[in-house]
Structure 1
Amino acid sequence: MPVNKSPAMNNFGVISSPCHEELLKFNFKNSSKNKSHTSRSLLLTREKFIVKFNQTQNPVEKKELLEQARRNILRCKRKLGLSSLGCGKHVHLPFAWTEVMYLAQCKGEIQDDALNMLYTSLDHAPLDYDHLPALFFVAESVLYRLCCDAFLKEFLYSVEIKLTKIGFLIFLRLFIFFLHGQLANFKEHLLRLQPYSYALLSSGESYHKYPNIFSNVQFMLKTLEIIYERELLSEPAFSTVENKEGFEDKESDMAYLRSNHGGYEVNALLWHCVAAWFCVQSNSPQLSHVLEHLILHKMQLQKKCWLDLVLALLVLGEAAKLNMACLKTFMDLMRDFLLSILSVEKQEEGCTGDDLSWAWCVVHTYTTIIAEICLYAGTFDLQKTAFIGLSGCKRPRKKILLNDKLEEPELEETSILSLLEFFSSKISDNCDQMVWIGYYSIVYNLVKMSWERQGDLEQDGLGNVIWQTLQKTKDYEKDTRILNAINIAQAELNDRTDPFTRYSTKIPSNAREEVFSKYIGWRVANTLSKLLFPPLDVHVIPLKKPEVKQNQMKYLNKKQESMKKRVLHFTVREHPSLSELPTFPYPDFFTKADKELAKIIDHHWQKELEIREREDEICEAKEQKDKELEEIKHFQEVMKQREQKLHKLTKPYELPPREEVISIEKTMTHKNN
């Protein structure tokens, strides 16, 4: 039976059970790439070490175990490639994910650091087929912790919040692999997750008070439901059906990933969002047409395909971080969705919360993405528009919050301030479910935004506005549901104090942990664009590497040793892979021609400048020579006139020779005598 949880934030320990022991001994087949890594991982993070770490009371032994766990954490950081987006020769993600999950069972700061590292890695790591066994292991571990540990507790825990966020990223990755038809060989792993999905479904009602956790749990359940239906029941073999008429096909309502046994249908709204992102990346002039067609499919925001809608918002949000037209379409899409949902709630009085629980997930996803746009958009105008809105940028901004609730503003835009004003004016004890859930999500993300903005001197103005908005919300709102959003966000950040009032205190080491997912949206958009608009020479997701026989390995090793002196090795930072880092495609013919023409013009202009400089130098030298000749001629004339008048050959202000002076002195002496 589900239990009602109150917002008390503490960490919980490990519960010993046969199922948990089986998870600790779980090993995946593809990790045998380096057997020394696997044996070392099992040796350092075995169950005895975890139990000893959690149960020891000896201070000396406790300190030694803590130092050992910290060394393992540092090694995992390097294996995860946290500073290189999961790329590099030193990176081994399956091994690192497994060891981090073991370390996450240690109580205290080790648990927090391990979960934070795992969340960051799952956010920015590339999508690779070889990661699937490790992903299933992490998914099973997270579901076990939620179903067998968290649900037995009476209170809500901060680790529980982090586990649901990690679970969202894991099942998002699994769903992308599912769309590529790469889960056919993992039926045994899916069957292992099935008991946990039943437990999660029966206990998920305890999260109704916390939309941020509830949306993550619903996403995991919906993903498992779709994968079970297609992989375990119908056994599909996927194939991509391309839209031959391109972006101008208005009659096609669906883009299909179709199989002979009833494949998965990708919603047309998701297809157009991926097309918009593709146009932004390729700087295509068809972007305006794609956005027009995208708005035509806004009525497909239905319960039947709400998981596609979440992916569509994720992809369109990435395009909105780079393009203002995409941002406007993104906000217009959610405005129409909110108005339609609120009208449905008013018309259907017998509508229960379960009927619209999917809409809660969509609204919370949108508020999270619009907050990410405020923080990480490419230009300040995009960030400001996402927070204030288009109308707020053109006219003087009104008060952040209404002083009274008698005036109810209309929902003209879905920027953060517009949603805050709209929901705050309608909040009450008997308000619609969507009102307090949207208000909760906005305030929850405001706390995280203000934390992320601390210390950012380049955009201190926007950070101050965010902080002022949050402070006015705290002072004005007394609803316990909204106050819970503030408490939960602060507990998730491991700090209940306000970061803007702690100027004299030292910021803790975990203050700069990732509070938003910065890269998973780009990973998903990039992968889906290659799936729906595949290039000719690029694989969508790296397929499983073929097995190499022992004799072939010996030949390859000898060949590589002979070529070592001729091979140049580059680091990832010097030469990043185009398929791993977000880059714009090569320019078209006209762009190249313009660049070549500009180079030719610059070359001739430089030559002309050199010729002009030489001519100027010659003119200056001639003028200087003429000036010197004039001075000499003028001096000669002066001396000639002096000689005629004074009968002296000396220059002006020049003493006469020594003999002449002596003769003059003698003459003067003779006269005096």
Structure 2
Amino acid sequence: MNIPVKNSPVINPFGVMSSSYSEQCLRFNLQNLRERKNDKSKPPFSITKEFILRFNQTKNPKEKEELLNLARKSILRCKRKLGLRTLGTGKHVHLPTAWTEIVYLAQCKGKIQDEALNMLYISMDHASFDYEHLPALFFLAESVLYRLCCDAFLKTYLYSVEIKLTKIAYLIFLRLFIYFLYGHLGSFNQHLLRLQPYLYALSFSGDSYDKYPNIFSNVQIILKIMEIICERELLSGSFSNPVENENQYENIDSDMEHVQPRQGGYEVSSLLWHCVAAWTCVQKNSPQLNKVLEHLIFHKTQLQMKCWMDSALALLVLGEAAKLNMDCLKTLMDLMKDFLSSIMTVQNQKEKCKADDLSWAWNVVYIYITTLAEACLYAALSNLRKTALVGFCDCKSSQRDILLLGKSEEQPELRNTSILGLLDYFSSKMSDNCDQVIWIGYYGIVYNLVKMSWELRGEEEQDGLRNSIWQTLQKIKDHEKDGRVHIAINIAKAELNNPMDPFTSYSTKVSPNAKDEIFSKFIGWRIANALSKLFFPSINAHILPSKKPLIKRDGMKHLYKKQDSMKKRVLHIIVRKHPSVSELPMFPYPDFFTKSDEELTRIIDRHWQKELKIREEEDAICKAKEREDKELEEKNHFTEIMKRREEKLHKKTKPYELPTRTEVIALEKKMTQN
């Protein structure tokens, strides 16, 4: 299947908002501009409706080049305001303004649109949570939904911009759900009402996306989040204070009381609570981790509840803990093994035919596959990455040839829920009439394998992991005949914005800056951190800011200093240093002994370089003297030969040298006289 990539038509950026909402955003931007140090310095350029129309419609090459240069300068300014290299922190960063500008720039066709959407996706992935971001987040949500419903649905085929928009919308609504759990959406009912028409249209997109589970999963999460939020916010309109659950476990740290927040009647599941507790124990290196994981396994049946949004967050948070701890990774894989075993039994299949209670189960499976693929790439230790790929043991199922099972051969059991274990299990059960969980799970494995192989290009440190994934993809390419699986490969290629075949492009070395972000690396850590502060508040923790009026620009300088100091204490990135990530250091700053060792190494290297230079000079002098001695010896040897020749032949000529003319004449006279 060839997936055409086409730019979307021009959309009036101000048509996304109503007049009141757009005027509010414009007044906010103008206020920030006026309250700078000097009102005399006005911005030389700003994105307007007229600029976007001119950019998309002009046919004059000279004017097109001028507009493109202006758009590129705006892109550079937005990069700085977004703080793409500093995880959205710094004095120069102002996310609401940058998000608004980047949405407008995304209306420009071509490379500007692609770069703007990539920047927005990266920012949505790593930006921190702040109550002041909410108006801009609602503006982004409405803009993206407008593009999906009023533009993407009009197409009869899938295109790359649509994939990016669904990924961005997924991150936006995940953030809105965290704000909902904090109780910060109570004053945004009008904004929620404005989103409902788009969500209603999006709910009818099943026919458009049912062949593309990677997109349909994001859409289902968006709809589920808004279903929960609107039911609590718009119907109840009030919030109750967090209350303690009556079932509390003993022998847990005193700062980890079993509190489950209720937001407008919404109570988070115990499974999610324990996953957040496990992540907190890993961060604090708490000895209570094993007890928390035991209680977590006790609530494994909650993964089968129809209200699956908590299950999705639980897998996301536990996946972040699994990137650092082997016990958490094992617990994560055991949860999915129990979930798949229970929903795939004959009894549960019959119950499903009667009540259709498990029609949502594929969402949980797909989220798990994506989470495990991220752990396979970004786990802190190589042992964790290997385990996420092949499992905890060298089972026969992980070593057998994928997709080479005959019909007469007995189909394998679900022995482990690693990447290759699930691929073996799903591929053995694939058929035209197989269960939805089977083919979507298989689709998700293949789709993420292609993205993983692309992410590992040019990385010599992970040759083993890359080769294993490459060999698996080669077998799928050579032996898989199901068209739905080949669609997964084509969709992954389209998302990577490159028409090249992923099976033949591994020898190409690509610089880290040339690759787009294809996995969300930080949103899981941001969510786990925010939920940890919500469920287990401590005195020194920097929780989300409470509702407060807009701060004037004069006070922003002191605010940034205060926030920066707090963020430096809290910020602890769990993702290892990776060439595809930005140039940020992903490890803590070195201690005194590490610095001393590095300084000593530099001193030794410096002296060694000097020693090598001295030795090279001495070698050059010795070689020159050897050449002179050799030339002198050859000269003396030649002189000795000539002396002996003269004594013996009475000739002073050199060997093979003709005598002079006078000597010849004298010799002839002598011969005639004789």
Q: Distance in 2 between matches of 1:351 and 1:497?
A: 46
Q: Distance in 2 between matches of 1:223 and 1:395?
A: 37
Per-residue Cα deviation, 1:626-662 (whole angstroms, up to 9, x for no partner) = xxxxxxxxxxxxxxxxxxxxxxxxxxxxxxxxxxxxx
Q: Check conservation: 1:53, 1:106, Cα contact below 8 A.
A: yes
Q: Check conservation: 1:402, 1:425, Cα contact below 8 A.
A: no
Which residue identity lines up with residue 33 of structure 2 in the other structure?
K
Q: Distance in 1 between matches of 2:213 and 2:43?
A: 37
1:81 aligns with one of 76, 80, 83: 83
Paired position in structure 2 for 1:220: 222
**2:169 matched to 1:167?**
yes
Per-residue Cα deviation, 1:59-108 (whole angstroms, up to 9, x for no partner) = 11111111111111111111110100000001110011111111111111
Which residue identity lines up with residue 14 of structure 1 in the other structure?
V
Unaligned 5+ runs, structure 1: 561-567, 585-598, 600-673
Which residue identity lines up with residue 10 of structure 1 in the other structure?
K
Per-residue Cα deviation, 1:300-327 (whole angstroms, up to 9, x for no partner) = 1234320000000000000000010100
Deviates more, 1:24-33 or 1:280-289: 24-33
Paired position in structure 1 for 2:610: none
Q: Distance in 2 between matches of 1:582 and 1:349?
A: 42
Paired position in structure 2 for 1:12: 8
Per-residue Cα deviation, 1:278-301 (whole angstroms, up to 9, x for no partner) = 111111111111111111111112
2:569 aligns with one of 575, 578, 583: 578
**1:361-380 matches, cutoff 5 A:** 361-380=363-382
Paired position in structure 2 for 1:341: 343
1:53 aligns with one of 49, 52, 55: 55
**2:404 matched to 1:413?**
no
Per-residue Cα deviation, 1:188-227 (whole angstroms, up to 9, x for no partner) = 1111111111111123332111111111001111111111
**Residue 173 of structure 2: SS of its match in structure 1?**
helix
**2:446 matched to 1:443?**
yes
**Residue 442 of structure 1: SS of its match in structure 2?**
helix
If you compute each CA radius of gyration, which structure gives the higher value, 1 or 2? 1
**Residue 267 of structure 2: SS of its match in structure 1?**
strand
Give 1:513 shift: 1.1
Residue 292 to residue 94, structure 1, CA distance change in 2 (3 Å):
same
Which residue identity lines up with residue 207 of structure 2 in the other structure?
E
Q: Distance in 2 between matches of 1:529 and 1:241?
A: 16
**2:249 matched to 1:258?**
no
Deviates more, 1:423-432 or 1:30-39: 30-39
Give 1:11 shift: 2.6
Q: Distance in 1 between matches of 2:35 and 2:307?
A: 42
Q: Distance in 2 between matches of 1:538 and 1:504?
A: 47
Residue 365 to residue 468, structure 1, CA distance change in 2 (3 Å):
same
Cα RMSD for the two superposed structures: 3.4
**Residue 328 of structure 1: SS of its match in structure 2?**
helix
Which residue identity lines up with residue 415 of structure 2 in the other structure?
E
Q: Check conservation: 1:367, 1:442, Cα contact below 8 A.
A: yes
Q: Check conservation: 1:389, 1:414, Cα contact below 8 A.
A: yes
**1:500-511 matches, cutoff 5 A:** 501-502=504-505, 507=510, 511=514
Which residue identity lines up with residue 258 of structure 1 in the other structure?
R
**1:32-111 matches, cutoff 5 A:** 34-36=32-34, 44-111=46-113
Q: Distance in 1 between matches of 2:35 and 2:167?
A: 28
Give 1:507 shift: 4.4
Give 1:537 shift: 3.6
**Residue 531 of structure 2: SS of its match in structure 1?**
helix
Which residue identity lines up with residue 495 of structure 1 in the other structure?
N
Paired position in structure 1 for 2:464: 461
Per-residue Cα deviation, 1:505-532 (whole angstroms, up to 9, x for no partner) = 6749974111101111011001101111
**1:235-634 matches, cutoff 5 A:** 235-242=237-244, 247-248=249-250, 255-258=259-262, 262-343=264-345, 346-348=349-351, 350=353, 355-392=357-394, 397-405=399-407, 406-499=409-502, 501-502=504-505, 507=510, 511-546=514-549, 577-582=568-573
Q: Check conservation: 1:388, 1:418, Cα contact below 8 A.
A: yes
Q: Distance in 2 between matches of 1:374 and 1:158?
A: 25
Residue 37 to residue 67, structure 1, CA distance change in 2 (3 Å):
farther
Residue 410 to residue 110, structure 1, CA distance change in 2 (3 Å):
same
Q: Check conservation: 1:275, 1:529, Cα contact below 8 A.
A: yes
Deviates more, 1:28-37 or 1:193-202: 28-37
Residue 84 to residue 222, structure 1, CA distance change in 2 (3 Å):
same
**Residue 128 of structure 2: SS of its match in structure 1?**
coil
1:182 aligns with one of 157, 170, 184: 184
Residue 396 to residue 120, structure 1, CA distance change in 2 (3 Å):
closer
**Residue 465 of structure 2: SS of its match in structure 1?**
helix
Which residue identity lines up with residue 422 of structure 2 in the other structure?
L
Give 1:484 shift: 0.3
Residue 94 to residue 569, structure 1, CA distance change in 2 (3 Å):
closer
Give 1:241 shift: 2.6
Deviates more, 1:238-247 or 1:138-147: 238-247
Q: Check conservation: 1:180, 1:238, Cα contact below 8 A.
A: no
Which residue identity lines up with residue 114 of structure 1 in the other structure?
A
Residue 106 to residue 17, structure 1, CA distance change in 2 (3 Å):
closer
Q: Check conservation: 1:240, 1:257, Cα contact below 8 A.
A: yes
Q: Distance in 2 between matches of 1:37 and 1:355?
A: 56
Q: Distance in 2 between matches of 1:548 and 1:349?
A: 54
Per-residue Cα deviation, 1:553-608 (whole angstroms, up to 9, x for no partner) = 7xx89x99xxxxxxx98996x99622344489xxxxxxxxxxxxxx9xxxxxxxxx
Residue 570 to residue 273, structure 1, CA distance change in 2 (3 Å):
closer
Q: Check conservation: 1:80, 1:86, Cα contact below 8 A.
A: yes
Give 1:536 shift: 2.0
Paired position in structure 1 for 2:207: 205
Q: Distance in 2 between matches of 1:180 and 1:88?
A: 25
Q: Check conservation: 1:345, 1:351, Cα contact below 8 A.
A: no
**Residue 261 of structure 2: SS of its match in structure 1?**
strand
Per-residue Cα deviation, 1:415-458 (whole angstroms, up to 9, x for no partner) = 00000000111111111111100000000000100000001111
Q: Distance in 2 between matches of 1:15 and 1:351?
A: 46
Which residue identity lines up with residue 570 of structure 2 in the other structure?
S
Paired position in structure 2 for 1:137: 139
Q: Distance in 2 between matches of 1:32 and 1:543?
A: 25
Q: Distance in 2 between matches of 1:394 and 1:345?
A: 28
Give 1:115 shift: 0.6
Q: Distance in 2 between matches of 1:242 and 1:536?
A: 19
Q: Check conservation: 2:319, 2:375, Cα contact below 8 A.
A: yes
Q: Check conservation: 1:267, 1:305, Cα contact below 8 A.
A: no
Which residue identity lines up with residue 389 of structure 1 in the other structure?
G
- How many residue pairs end up in the alignment? 564
Q: Check conservation: 2:14, 2:49, Cα contact below 8 A.
A: no
Q: Distance in 1 between matches of 2:441 and 2:79?
A: 36
Give 1:54 shift: 1.1
